[in-house]
Amino acid sequence: MCLIYTERNRAVDERVIKVEALLANERIALREFRESDWEGVHSYASRGEVCRYQSWGPNTEAESQVFVQEIISDAAALPRKRYGFAVTLKTNDQLVGGGELNIHSVTNQTAEIGYIIHPAYWGQGIATDVARLLIDYGFKGLGMHRIYATCDPRNTGSERVLRKVGMQKEGQMRETILISDGWRDSMLFSVLRHEWK
> SS3 for 76-102, per residue?
CCCCCCEEEEEEEECCCCCEEEEEEEE
What strands, in cross-sheet order, belong to the sheet with 168-179? 23-24, 28-32, 82-89, 95-105, 110-117, 146-151, 182-192, 168-179
pLDDT profile of the chain (197 residues), mean per 10: 41 44 85 96 94 90 97 95 96 96 97 97 97 96 97 96 98 94 95 95
What pLDDT is stored for residue 181 in this prediction?
A: 87
3-class DSSP state of 141: helix
CB–CB of 110/81 below 8 Å? Answer: no
What pLDDT is stored for residue 74 in this prediction?
A: 96
Task: For residues 148 and 144, give the distance between their C-alpha atoms in angstroms, rounded to a whole number.
Answer: 11
What pLDDT is stored for residue 18 in this prediction?
A: 37
Domains and CATH numbers, the chain: 7-147 (3.40.630.30)
0.75 cut: is pTM over it? yes
CB–CB of 128/161 below 8 Å? Answer: yes
Q: Name, in order, each residue with C-beta under 8 angstroms of 185's C-beta and a sequence gap of 6 or more.
A: 152, 153, 172, 173, 174, 175, 176
